[in-house]
Structure 1
Amino acid sequence: MPTTTTQGVTVTVTTNYLPDYSSPSQEHYVFAYRIDIRNDSEYTVKLLRRHWFISDANSTVREVEGEGVVGRQPVLEPGESHQYMSGCNLKSGVGKMQGTYLMERLVNGEHFQVNIPEFTLMVPYRMN
């Protein structure tokens, strides 16, 4: 599981290929990913925005940016975690994602970036 910590905020990612929603004959591969965000800092933080880069093995790169995650802007007290599920589709069956969250320390309104670790999206039969 890819994991990274930035300024006391730890992000861990797990992924799954969803064959029931995919159609390889039409170059449509669907993946789900679970993100676990843990606040190990001494300050309460709020997730404001997300910024993703989604790379497909066919050399296309998509950029996704917006408020919060799956319609929420979670507030995390020290020691708290927030988990969410989301997904993406690829045309090649192999790709990767990485990005950042824009966070705010509520004590002083300071904004900072938290890195999301790069993770691979791969159809299981391509691993051999």
Structure 2
Amino acid sequence: MVTKITDGIKISVETLYQPEYSNPTGEHFMYAYQIRIENLSDYSIQLLRRKWLIFDSNGTHREVEGEGVVGLQPIIDPGESHEYVSGCNLRTEIGTMKGHYRMQRLIDGRLFDVNIPEFQLYCPYKMN
């Protein structure tokens, strides 16, 4: 698990290779990741947008940007958290992801970005 705290918001990420949805001979490798967003600040916040930078070990990269996460724009009160699971496909057995969430403090409307720590996506057999 990797974690990072930005402006009182803690992001934790766990990953899992999904062989049942992958096809290595077809250069299709599927990964799931679970994100936990913890509000350690004194203010209620809302997650408005996300931006991902996805890097494949063959040198390609792509950006994914959009509203919310898995169709939601959750409000997270102080001391509370929000968790979700999503997925990413790569053309190789190893890659990385990182990015940020655009958040808004509800008390004053202040917008700020929360960094998502870089995390690795890899097939377990590549690490042996």
TM-score by structure 1 length?
Answer: 0.99
Offset of 1:86 from its aligned partner? 0.2
Asked if residue 28 in structure 1 is aligned to residue 45 in structure 2, the reply is: no
Aligned equivalents of 1:115, 1:28: Cα separation in 2? 28
The equivalent of 1:48 in structure 2 is 48
Aligned equivalents of 1:30, 1:93: Cα separation in 2? 9
Aligned equivalents of 2:118, 2:71: Cα separation in 1? 22
Aligned equivalents of 2:41, 2:93: Cα separation in 1? 37
Moved over 2 A (4+): none
Aligned equivalents of 1:93, 1:60: Cα separation in 2? 13
String of CA shifts for 1:43-68, please: whole Å, max 9, x gaps: 00000000000000000001000000
Aligned equivalents of 1:66, 1:80: Cα separation in 2? 24
Asked if residue 112 in structure 1 is aligned to residue 112 in structure 2, the reply is: yes
Aligned equivalents of 1:100, 1:61: Cα separation in 2? 16
The equivalent of 1:80 in structure 2 is 80
Asked if residue 68 in structure 1 is aligned to residue 72 in structure 2, the reply is: no
The equivalent of 2:93 in structure 1 is 93
What fraction of aligned residue pairs are identical, expressed as a percent? 56
| Counterpart AA for 1:54 | I
| Counterpart AA for 1:8 | G
Aligned equivalents of 1:38, 1:96: Cα separation in 2? 22
Segments of structure 2 that go 5 or more residues without pairing to the other structure are: none
Aligned equivalents of 1:55, 1:21: Cα separation in 2? 20
Offset of 1:93 from its aligned partner? 1.0
Segments of structure 1 that go 5 or more residues without pairing to the other structure are: none
TM-score by structure 2 length?
Answer: 0.99
String of CA shifts for 1:6-48, please: whole Å, max 9, x gaps: 0000000000000000000101000000000000000000000
Aligned residue-pair number:
128
